[in-house]
A and B are shown apart, each in its own frame.
Chain A
Amino acid sequence: MGAKPTPRTENPPPDWSSLCRAVAERAPRPMVSVEGTSHIVRYVNPAFCRLMDKPREQLLGKPFGEMLPEKDECVRLLDRVLRTGQPESHTEQHHSKPHPVFWSYTMWPVMAEERPVRVLIQVTETAQFHDKMLAMNEALMVGSVRQHELTEAANSSNVRLQAEIIERTQAEAALRAARLELAQANAALEQKVRDRTAKLQETVAELEHFSYTITHDMRAPLRAMYSLGGVLLEECSECLEPTRLEYIRQIVDAADRMDKLITDALQYSGVVRQHFEPEPVDADALLRGMLKSYPEFQPPHANIRIDSHLPVVLGNQAGLTQCFSNLLANAVKFVHPGRTPEVRVWAESVQSPKSKAQSQPAEGSPVEHATRNTEHESVPSALNPQPSTLNPLVRIWFEDKGIGIEKQYHDKIWQMFQQLNKSYEGTGIGLALVRKVVDRLGGKVGVESEPGHGSRFWLELERANGQPYHEPLTPDRPQ
């Protein structure tokens, strides 16, 4: 066997075959010699036997390809070496063994008669990816350590989260319980309110019945005292001495005052209790009807003139009837003894607080020095000069030439049971009633007055149809 082409020399050639064999037998690397197109193994060295873990006898005479992990490329290479006579080397790219060992081959042709007849193969088992595997293993190790750390962290945060969830669940349960308790308390409260309201309504109904009974039952005896006393006064004016007649007169007057007090107080409490739904009220028709039906508002008892057509206002028929009748009754009542009351009524539009200046009396008016110092309103004018609606306002004036009111009392007269002058009969409820009614209607009341120069009372209300009010040009407007 020889690894080199056999040179032609004159000297007897050295025994390459036995030399090669000696080298091969001692070579640390596995070596194989194959022959022919089917690559029959003709020689294996001990290293190859160790590699294959088989005795030589089991390897010789068999095709080399059968012993290989990957035979295709190696067989193709062997064919080429046998064809070309050129040495080749090859490293396997794949392995099929459980552990990653790669074979590489170095092939030399053995020439005879200028032709390759055998191939000598040296096999090297390599494990070139081993380091990479180690690195990968290490990386995997590191990865698994990291994974372990992450798992630990996840576990501990899970524990924390679970604690939080429990805490939150408990809080929610507590909240639900609190809400339930609150709802129950609310329900109990509402029931209590309903019960109390029912009780109150019952009480109110009882009181109303009581009021009604008072009007009916208490006024009947007063009617008798007043009326029969009157009969006595008329029929006994001759037969009774003046002192005794005076006693009877006092009884009649007392019964009269008592009756008026009862009716006025009941009227006031009715206004307080009553809910006024604002409705269009024809102030003009209301006032003219009133003048027609009460003799005390007609000549010769009084001269009352309506100087301009009063508009339709947002009010309440019953309430405004009470207002008008009280204001007219006052205007007629509070005059100097022996004088016929002179009363004028008119209306004027009020656009804004500034336009109130228009309502100042003209030059030469008996109340020219009067100051506006009383104004009762349901809302403070400084904060809310206009009422909540956009309806134009109208002011209805009642002017008399009576005794007038001192400035210091302009506020007081609107209070309940305030009577400035006891020489005029009354109950001290009339103006309080007027104020209460107008309050209820969302309007204002006011007065301008000076002692000896008469008084001007006014009511300010909304017009019903939203149209501004234009005073008709009447020649007899108060000058």
Chain B
Amino acid sequence: MISPPAMLYVEDEKSDVLLLRVAFTRAGLLNPVHIAVDGAEAIDYLAGNGPFADRNQHPLPALVLLDLNLPKKSGFEVLSWIRQQPQFASLPVVIYTSSVNLMDKDTAQLFGATDYFVKRRGVNQIAELVRTLAERWLTQSAAP
């Protein structure tokens, strides 16, 4: 049995990670969610550096959900690194941030973000969002 496509959530805020997990459960999604707690770890994960070389434990994601304000390396740095890797040229990267700054949205688009969402409050609202994301990027057919 093939496990459903995985998602990498790059987020330093633990409560947001918890909310997303709850929302995933609410939405009835079985896709594994892997977490990177800062920008550098996100790049290590995708590049398969160190412990992330084990793709059974750390499979390549079908979708990256990326916060912008991150320790070590910012979301924009991660995004720009991803777009420089030929194997990740078409990897969906969705920005998920608390920033309502229009300039951030423009910058994200410029760096090649697939979509941009402002963080939502309320588990049901978040569940609604992840359901939409999963339908687009995390179905078997959408998997790479």
Min C-beta distance of A10 to chain B, whole Å: 163
- Tell me what chain A mostly uses at the interface: helix, strand, loop, or mixed: helix
Q: Contacting B98 at CB < 8 Å: which of A220, A228, A230, A256?
A: A220
Interface check A189, CB cutoff 8 A: no
Asked if residues B123 and A231 are in contact (CB atoms below 8 Å), the reply is yes
Interface check A224, CB cutoff 8 A: yes
Interface check A219, CB cutoff 8 A: yes
Q: Contacting B16 at CB < 8 Å: which of A224, A256, A259, A263?
A: A224
Interface check B89, CB cutoff 8 A: no
Asked if residues B121 and A226 are in contact (CB atoms below 8 Å), the reply is yes
Min C-beta distance of A450 to chain B, whole Å: 36
**What residues of A have a CB within 8 angstroms of the CB of B13 in the complex?**
220
Alpha-carbon distance A234/B22, docked complex (angstroms): 13
Min C-beta distance of A58 to chain B, whole Å: 133
Q: A215 and B99 in contact (CB under 8 A), knowing A223-B15, A224-B18, A231-B22?
A: yes
Alpha-carbon distance A470/B37, docked complex (angstroms): 57
Alpha-carbon distance A224/B98, docked complex (angstroms): 13
Asked if residues A227 and B19 are in contact (CB atoms below 8 Å), the reply is yes
Interface check A127, CB cutoff 8 A: no
**What residues of B have a CB within 8 angstroms of the CB of A221 in the complex?**
15
Identify the closest chain A residue to B97 (Cβ): A216
Interface check A318, CB cutoff 8 A: yes
Asked if residues B98 and A227 are in contact (CB atoms below 8 Å), the reply is no
Q: A227 and B102 in contact (CB under 8 A), knowing A220-B13, A220-B15?
A: no
Q: A230 and B123 in contact (CB under 8 A), knowing A215-B99, A318-B102?
A: yes
**Contact pattern, B 50-90, Cβ under 8 Å of A = 1, otherwise 0:** 00000000000000000001000000000000000000000
Q: Name the interface residues of A207-224: CB closer than 8 Å to any CB of B.
A: 215-216, 219-221, 223-224
Asked if residues B119 and A223 are in contact (CB atoms below 8 Å), the reply is yes
Alpha-carbon distance A216/B118, docked complex (angstroms): 11
Interface check B31, CB cutoff 8 A: no
Alpha-carbon distance A220/B19, docked complex (angstroms): 11
Min C-beta distance of B72 to chain A, whole Å: 16
Alpha-carbon distance A226/B121, docked complex (angstroms): 7
Alpha-carbon distance A219/B100, docked complex (angstroms): 12
Identify the closest chain B residue to A252 (Cβ): B122
Alpha-carbon distance A303/B124, docked complex (angstroms): 25
* Best-surrounded residue of A223, A227, A231 (most CB of chain B within 10 A): A227
Interface check B126, CB cutoff 8 A: yes
**What residues of A have a CB within 8 angstroms of the CB of B15 in the complex?**
220-221, 223-224, 228
Asked if residues A228 and B19 are in contact (CB atoms below 8 Å), the reply is yes
Listed A/B pairs (17) with beta-carbon separation below 8 Å:
A215-B99, A219-B98, A220-B13, A220-B98, A223-B15, A223-B19, A224-B16, A224-B19, A227-B22, A227-B123, A228-B15, A228-B18, A228-B22, A230-B122, A230-B124, A256-B121, A263-B100
- Residues of A whose CB lies within 8 Å of any CB of B are 215-216, 219-221, 223-224, 226-228, 230-231, 256, 259, 263, 318
